[in-house]
Amino acid sequence: SVVTAPRRIQALDQDVTNKIAAGEIIVAPVHALKELIENAVDAGSTSLEVLVKEGGLKLLQITDNGHGINKDDLPILCERFTTSKLKAFEDLMSISTYGFRGEALASISHIAHLSVTTKTKDSTCAYRARYEGGRLAPAKPGQSADPKPVAGRQGTQITVEDLFYNVPTRRRAFRSASEEYNKILDMVGRYAVHCDGVAFSCKKHGEAGTTISTQSASSTVDRIRQIYGGTVANEVIEFKSANEQWGFKANGWTTNANYHVKKTTLLLFINHRSVESTNIRKAIESTYSTFLPKGGHPFTYLTLEIDPQRVDVNVHPTKREVNFLNEDEIIDAICNTIRIKLANVDTSRTFTTQT
Ligand code: ADP
Ligand code: MG
- Distance between CA atoms of residues 342 and 255, nearest Å: 9
Which domains, and CATH codes, for the chain?
14-213 (3.30.565.10), 230-350 (3.30.230.10)
**Angle (CA) 137 141 145, round 5°:** 30
Q: State the CB neighbour count (10 A cutoff) for residue 267.
A: 21
pLDDT in tens, 178-221: 999 999 999 999 999 999 999 999 999 999 898 999 999 999 99
For residue 325, what is the DSSP state? Answer: T
Computed on alpha carbons and rounded to an integer, the radius of gyration of the chain in Å comes to 23
Q: Is the CB of 274 under 6 A from ligand 1?
A: no
For residues 70 and 198, is the Cβ–Cβ distance under 8 A?
Answer: no
Q: Is the CB of 66 under 6 A from ligand 1?
A: yes
Residues having C-beta closer than 5 Å to ion ligand 2: 39, 99, 104
**Angle (CA) 232 233 239, round 5°:** 100
The residues that bridge with 126 in the sheet, in sequence order, are: 150
Nearest residue to 285 via CA among 261, 303, 306: 261
What is the pLDDT at residue 348? 58
Q: How far is the CA of 10 from the centre of ligand 2 (A)?
A: 32
What is the pLDDT at residue 9? 84
pLDDT in tens, 252-268: 999 999 999 999 999 99
The interface pTM score, or ipTM, of the predicted complex is 0.98
For residues 192 and 184, is the Cβ–Cβ distance under 8 A?
Answer: no
pTM summary value: 0.91
CA 150 to chain centre: 29
Q: Is the CB of 129 under 6 A from ligand 1?
A: no
Q: Which ligand is nearest to the CA of 68?
A: 1
Nearest residue to 123 via CA among 84, 68, 41, 76: 68
146: Cβ–Cβ under 8 A, 6 or more apart, which residues? 136
**Angle (CA) 184 187 192, round 5°:** 120
Question: With a cut of 50, which residues of the chain have pLDDT below it?
Answer: 94-100, 352-355
Long-range pairs for 343-351: beta carbons < 8 A, 24 or more residues apart: 345/237, 345/256, 345/257, 346/257, 346/291, 349/257
Nearest residue to 281 via CA among 298, 293, 258: 298
Q: Is the CB of 341 under 6 A from ligand 1?
A: no
Q: Which ligand is nearest to the CA of 81?
A: 1
pLDDT in tens, 277-319: 889 999 999 999 999 999 999 999 999 998 877 776 555 555 5
Residue located nearest, by CA, to atom 19 of ligand 1: 39
Q: How far is the CA of 16 from the centre of ligand 1 (A)?
A: 24
